Amino acid sequence: MSNQDYSVKQLIEMEACTLCRLCADVCPAVSVSKDAKLSGTWRLNSLRQILKGRAGFLPALFGAKTPSGDELGDFSGTVFRCTLCGNCQEVCPVGINLKDIWVSLRQDLVHSKAYPGKIEMIRENLEQSRNVFGEDNEERADWVEDMRDAPDHGYLKDKADVVYFTGCVAAYFPLAQKIPMALAEILETGEVNFTLLGEEEWCCGFPMLGAGLKEMFQAFMEHNLAAVRGKGAKELIFACPSCYQMWREYYPPEIKISHATEFLLHLLRENRIPLRELPMTVTYHDPCDLGRGARVFDPPRDAIRSIPGIKFVELPRNREQCQCCGGGGNLEMIDAKLSAQIAKRKIEEIMSTGADAVITSCQQCVRTMTTYVRRNKVPLEVLDITQLIHRAMKK
């Protein structure tokens, strides 16, 4: 074991923590579990002790000891019960890049062989199937077959101006497949020359970082870049914020990238999508990776407000302060109960607005919130913004 999973900048940042505990106040996992060991403060303090216990002569100097396997295992159990929502980083008064540290910490724990068993399942799925769910990657675009009047080419073209990168969740989960179906019809109506990558689309890499498997990412990135280059596209669009965030932060800037909310707003402003009146009261949930991560706050709101008849109300906590739905960071695979508790808290906040529906811009948020709503018979509709625009679109 060593401390090489952390950059020098990260090692310096760790020492800047003032133990103010603001990160604990906003952590969704801490809020619902009341377990202080899930807080950024406790995690960072424990990590510093572990690092000092590993570093050469420093254990004797600081009186630190190298943690045992059991101690690392217990620590790992708290580290992976985090949604990586980034709210801790948002409120940190000294500007520590906590989310990056949590990703490096997960990688460290994998290298230290102290991680939940589900991580091996994620690794095997990605190695064998090129997607996090272990589904047949040749079926990645099979959702097109369930569309009414789908074109013969199935949106799989040799060349196109735009590539729509679907993402693993929307490709394989029936509940989330309504999102790419809606987006494909909207793009057709807007006369956008687009294509899918089909089986040539591999996982974007986000689940790897969340699982501490960063070493796998390079091969996936190179494959996806080659697949996009082969289409000769000018732009790449995503309905998944995590895919968008990965391409934005970890892929080379070879091609223009846009989240679907930004691309659809452009089409709406050019009057390329005819809309009818839709009398609904809606609120908007900012996905963590799109909001806090990519700072995309206005395009989804502007797109919603462009629909005639819509009454828009904000959540009490919105934009930078928006609370996670519980679906991030691979938490659902590691601790499904904790994920559901966070979703419950989110739905209660949404219901306080009196909205008929909550709109979001993330297939995982849609899946997580819809699952809770259905299981608990909550009278609330959960829609992705693509589904809302599709519903308002004049057929």
The answer to whether the 8-115 and 273-392 domains have the same CATH topology is no
Residue by residue, DSSP assigns 18-60 as ----HHHHH-HHHHHH--GGGSHHHHHHHHHHHHHHHSTTHHH
297-354 confidence digits (pLDDT tens): 999 999 999 999 999 999 999 999 999 999 999 999 899 999 999 999 999 999 999 9
Task: Supply the pLDDT for residue 70.
Answer: 73
CB 81 within 8 A of CB 29: yes
**CATH 1.10.1060.10 holds for 8-115:** yes
Task: Supply the pLDDT for residue 55.
Answer: 65
Q: Which of 13, 47, 41, 48 is nearest to 27 (CA)?
A: 41
29-57 confidence digits (pLDDT tens): 999 999 999 999 999 999 998 888 776 55
Query: At the topology level of CATH, where does 273-392 sit?
Result: Rossmann fold (3.40.50)
Q: Which of 149, 153, 178 is nearest to 166 (CA)?
A: 178
Q: Which of 238, 284, 287 is nearest to 260 (CA)?
A: 238
266 class by beta-carbon count within 10 Å (0-12 exposed, 13-18 middle, 19+ buried):
middle
Domain ranges for the chain, please list them. 8-115, 135-266, 273-392
Q: Which of 272, 144, 137 is nearest to 201 (CA)?
A: 137
Task: Supply the pLDDT for residue 1.
Answer: 46
Residue with tokens 């009057």: 271
How much is the pTM? 0.93
Q: Which CATH number fits domain 135-266: 1.10.1660, 1.25.40, 3.40.50, 2.60.40?
A: 3.40.50
- Tell me if residue 359 falls in helix, strand or coil: strand
Give mean pLDDT in consecutive 10-residue pieces for the chain, a chain of 395 residues: 83 92 95 95 92 65 62 89 96 95 95 92 95 94 92 95 97 94 97 97 95 96 97 97 96 96 97 96 98 97 97 97 95 94 97 97 96 96 98 90
Structure tokens at 385: 């913004």
57 class by beta-carbon count within 10 Å (0-12 exposed, 13-18 middle, 19+ buried):
exposed
